[in-house]
Amino acid sequence: MLSYNPTVKLIVRALMVALFLGCIYMPYGMFGVLPLFTFSNDYSAAEDVALKERHGGATVPSKISDDMVIGENKPFASAEELAQAKKDWMWCGFCHYTAADAPHRIGPNLNGIIGRRVGSKDKYFYTEPFRAAAKAGVVWTEESLDAFIADPAAMYPGNRMRYAPVTDPAKRDRIIKYLKAYAQ
């Protein structure tokens, strides 16, 4: 049997505690995961009514087929553009669902996001910069979404969305078209 001296024991214990804390912090540090919190939002009810009005009271289909989003006066001009947009969206989709009846993931559900008050989805725990914007009545537009994903950390400093800036304007454009097609 090996017998450790007390200093070695202390170091090993300290390392184990550090490892344990690291394991707890890692999902938050890397992806912004906060599994235990939900938050009823002061603004969600009014925003949900406004969204319903935008849809003329009609229920939004949870399954959206390609022909509903490709063509004249629709977000995408061609099947190729849509295919590329789906690829561009892939990582966003890792953290965000877009269908009306879908839950939150690591990030909030983005249904109806364009024209919706910032930080206004119910049962989602937003960080302070988003809560402050919600209070101030800031609304997402295509322009502000573009600016946000161009540098997620800069527009709302201290927010929890861990995503590298999307520097290619064409890619940002396709991502916003994706939101228009699947999240409106």
- The binding site for ligand HEC (CB under 6 A) comprises 31-32, 91-92, 94-96, 106-108, 110, 113, 118-119, 121, 126-127, 130, 145, 149, 159-163, 166, 175
For the CB of residue 95, give the shortest distance to ligand HEC in the complex, in Å: 3
Residue number with CB closer to ligand HEC (70 or 115): 115
Q: Which is nearer to ligand HEC, 64 or 132 (CB)?
A: 132
Minimum CB separation of residue 106 from ligand HEC in Å reads: 5
- Residue among 113 and 181 whose Cβ is closer to ligand HEC: 113
- How far is it, in rounded angstroms, from Cα 85 to Cα 175? 6
Amino acid letter at 135? K
Please report where in the chains the tokens 């979404």 appear, as a residue.
145
User: 3-state class of 28 per DSSP?
Assistant: helix
Minimum separation from the CB atom of position 119 to ligand HEC (A): 5
* Rg for the chain, CA atoms, rounded: 21
Choice between 58 and 90, CB closer to ligand HEC: 90
C-alpha to C-alpha distance for 184 and 66, rounded to whole angstroms: 15
Smallest distance from ligand HEC to CB 178, Å:
8
CA dist., res. 24 & res. 32, Å (int): 12
Q: Which is nearer to ligand HEC, 115 or 163 (CB)?
A: 163
Q: Which of 64, 67, 89, 93 is CA-nearest to residue 78?
A: 67
The Cα 182–Cα 184 span in angstroms is 6
Query: What type of residue sits at position 122?
Result: D
d(CA 55, CA 89): 24
